[in-house]
């Protein structure tokens, strides 16, 4: 589906972008990638576990550290789009790119005030318009997307996916370098983890180079026995390297930030919570050493 008004890409109301970025080096012709971009999907079978919250805040942490970061909303009901503008539904986004091979990548990329941080909304085409849930349908297009990003000099592409491991999300997982799995620290949530890992081993067949970064415990309530016990039992259930040391605490700040569609680090009182995501970032960087450390463009 083609929409002419897409040329007037609305700008982010809070993270006022540097408009000059639009016409800058990101418009290099798509030839051989300038360097390698690392792509990470943030996925889980369940919804409401903190995927979007982790994606936005982690992407912001990388960008603040000077890593040229692209945050992609690959959830058709996505809310990363919210962080763009209330009119985010008018943005040409990821699903439009999948549905229409005529759309150039440049039309999707929305710069922010932070020079190293850009976003791609989910767009107007729904999952259905993009061809429905058949896995493999969008593989070629998803891979073209990732190649085009590399050609534009991004260091990192973080993809916030819809819940579940099939359909477009399956194609994303089959194409990225790595995956991380947010997991709510409550008993019911923990019980679904073995099933998730089973699903992931199936996806490793599709994508043998998939690097499973691990499970990230979210919404941990340190003052609630059920929550800390759930976190502890997950750590017993999985190999140590499969669970991030960093746990995301349950904090009203995240709800406030997501209502405004912002990374917490941008809130006046968000500096403390930002530290949590900086430590998650450090863990991810360590998992990519040495290749990542050599290539990331720290400013
Ligand atoms: N650490 C947290 N503390 C408190 N609320 C959170 C936290 N992480 C997420 N939330 C809230 O929980 C809800 C679901 O989170 P979200 O990131 O949208 O999950 P998902 O993308 O997996 O569906 C949102 O309202 C969000 O603001
Ligand atoms: Mg989400």
Which ligand lies nearest the alpha carbon of 76?
2
Q: Is 251 in the pocket of ligand 1 (CB under 6 A)?
A: yes
**pLDDT higher than threshold 70 for residue 1:** no
**pLDDT higher than threshold 50 for residue 18:** no
> How high does pLDDT run on average in the chain?
81
Q: Is 250 in the pocket of ligand 1 (CB under 6 A)?
A: yes
Q: Higher confidence at residue 177 or residue 30?
A: 177
Ligand 1 centroid, distance to 189 Cα (angstroms): 14
Average pLDDT over residues 130-144: 79
- Note the pLDDT of residue 213: 94
Q: Is 47 in the pocket of ligand 1 (CB under 6 A)?
A: yes
**pLDDT higher than threshold 50 for residue 299:** no
Q: Of ligand 1's atoms, which has the minimum distance to the CA of residue 79?
A: 18
pLDDT tens digits, one per residue of 143-159: 999 999 988 989 999 99
| Tokens (6 digits) for 199 | 């699903």
Residue with tokens 């040495």: 290
- Note the pLDDT of residue 30: 45
Q: Are 265 and 57 in contact (CB under 8 A)?
A: yes
Residue whose CA lies nearest to ligand 1 atom number 27: 255
Residue 171: Cβ-neighbour burial (10 angstroms; 0-12, 13-18, 19+):
buried
Whole-structure pTM value: 0.84
Q: Band of the pLDDT at 269, cuts 50, 70, 90?
A: confident
Q: Higher confidence at residue 84 or residue 56?
A: 56
Ligand 2 centroid, distance to 79 Cα (angstroms): 6
Ligand 1 centroid, distance to 199 Cα (angstroms): 23
Which ligand lies nearest the alpha carbon of 264?
1
Q: Band of the pLDDT at 251, cuts 50, 70, 90?
A: very high
Which ligand lies nearest the alpha carbon of 252?
1
- Note the pLDDT of residue 270: 87
**pLDDT higher than threshold 50 for residue 116:** yes
Among 127-136, 166-175, 239-248, 256-265, the least confident range: 127-136
pLDDT tens digits, one per residue of 21-52: 333 444 444 444 456 899 999 999 888 999 99
Q: Which domains are assigned to the chain?
A: 33-295 (3.40.50.300)
Q: Are 169 and 200 in contact (CB under 8 A)?
A: no
**pLDDT higher than threshold 80 for residue 168:** yes
If DSSP codes are grouped into helix, strand and coil, which group holds residue 91?
A: coil
Distance between CA atoms of 119 and 100, rounded to whole angstroms?
19
Distance (Å) of CA 45 to CA 49, 76, 164, 195, 297 = 9, 15, 4, 9, 33
Distance between CA atoms of 112 and 115, rounded to whole angstroms?
7
Distance between CA atoms of 155 and 146, rounded to whole angstroms?
11
| Tokens (6 digits) for 91 | 């943005």
Strands 38-42 and 178-184: parallel
- Note the pLDDT of residue 57: 94
Q: Band of the pLDDT at 187, cuts 50, 70, 90?
A: confident
- Note the pLDDT of residue 79: 67
Total residue length of the chain = 299
**pLDDT higher than threshold 60 for residue 188:** yes
Residue with tokens 């609305």: 10
Residues 6+ apart with CB under 8 A from 98: 125, 130, 131, 138, 141, 142, 145, 168
Ligand 2 centroid, distance to 80 Cα (angstroms): 8
pLDDT tens digits, one per residue of 69-88: 999 999 988 766 555 555 55
């Amino acid at each position: 589906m083609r929409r002419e008004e897409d040329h007037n890409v609305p700008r982010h109301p809070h993270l006022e972008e540097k408009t000059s970025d639009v016409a800058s080096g990101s418009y290099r012709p798509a030839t051989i990638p300038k360097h390698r971009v690392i792509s990470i999907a943030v996925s889980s079978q369940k919804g409401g576990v903190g995927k979007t919250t982790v994606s936005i805040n982690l992407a912001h942490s990388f960008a603040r550290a000077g890593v040229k970061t692209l945050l992609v909303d690959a959830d058709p009901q996505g809310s990363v789009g919210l962080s763009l503008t209330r009119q985010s539904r008018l943005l040409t986004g990821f699903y439009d790119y999948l549905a229409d091979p005529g759309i150039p990548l440049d039309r999707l990329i929305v710069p922010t005030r932070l020079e190293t941080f850009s976003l791609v909304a989910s767009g107007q085409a729904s999952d259905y318009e993009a061809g429905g849930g058949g896995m493999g349908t969008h593989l070629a297009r998803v891979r073209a997307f990732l190649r085009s990003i590399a050609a534009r000099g991004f260091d990192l592409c973080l993809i916030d996916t819809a819940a579940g491991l099939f359909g477009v999300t399956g194609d994303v997982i089959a194409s990225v370098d790595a995956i991380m799995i947010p997991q709510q620290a409550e008993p019911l949530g923990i019980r679904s983890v073995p099933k998730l890992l089973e699903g992931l081993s199936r996806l490793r067949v599709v994508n043998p180079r998939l690097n499973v970064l691990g499970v990230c415990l979210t919404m941990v309530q340190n003052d609630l026995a059920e929550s800390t016990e759930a976190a502890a039992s997950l750590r017993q259930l999985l190999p140590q390297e499969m669970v991030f040391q960093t746990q995301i605490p349950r904090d009203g700040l995240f709800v406030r930030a997501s209502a405004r569609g912002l990374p917490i680090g941008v809130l006046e009182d968000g500096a403390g919570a930002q530290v949590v995501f900086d430590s998650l970032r450090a863990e991810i960087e360590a998992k990519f050493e040495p290749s990542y450390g050599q290539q990331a463009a720290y400013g």
